[in-house]
Structure 1
Amino acid sequence: MSDRVVTFPGGFMTISRINDVDRMVGKRIQALRKARGLSQSDLAAAAGVRFQQIQKYESGANRVSASRLWAISDALDVEILYFFEGIAPEQIAEKSGEAVEDPMAFLRDPEALEILTLLKSLPKTKKSAVLSIVRSMAL
Structure 2
Amino acid sequence: MTHPVDVHVGKRIRHRRWLVGMTQQQLAEKVGIKFQQIQKYETGANRVSASRLWDIADALDVAVSFFFEGLETEARPKEAVPSDILGDKEALDLVRSYYSIPEHQRRRLFELARVLSDVA
TM class by smaller structure: 0.5 to 0.7
| 1:80 corresponds to 2:71 | no
Which secondary structure state, in structure 2, belongs to the residue aligned with residue 73 of structure 1? helix
Matching of residue 54 in structure 1 with residue 35 in structure 2: no
Q: Which residue of 2 aligns with 1:117?
A: none
Report percent identity of matched pairs. 58
**Larger radius of gyration, structure 1 or 2?**
2
Distance 2:70 2:18 in 1: 21
Match of 1:39 in 2: 23
Corresponding position: 1:68 with 2:64: no
User: Counterpart in 1 of 2:6?
Assistant: 22
Amino acid at match of 2:9: V
How far residue 86 of structure 1 moved from its aligned partner, in angstroms, is 2.7
Q: TM-score, normalised by structure 1?
A: 0.50
Return the alpha-carbon distance in structure 2 between the equivalents of residues 26 and 87 of structure 1. 12
Aligned alpha-carbon RMSD (Å): 1.9
Q: What is the count of residue pairs matched by the alignment?
A: 75
Higher RCO structure (Cα 8 Å, ≥6 apart): 2
Deviation at 1:85, TM superposition (A): 1.4
Moved beyond 6 Å, runs of 4+: none
Unaligned segments of structure 1, at least 5 residues:
1-16, 92-139
Of Structure 1 and Structure 2, which has the larger fraction of its residues in helix? 2
Q: Which amino acid aligns with 2:66?
A: Y
Which sections of structure 2, spanning at least 5 residues, go unmatched? 76-120
Q: TM-score, normalised by structure 2?
A: 0.58
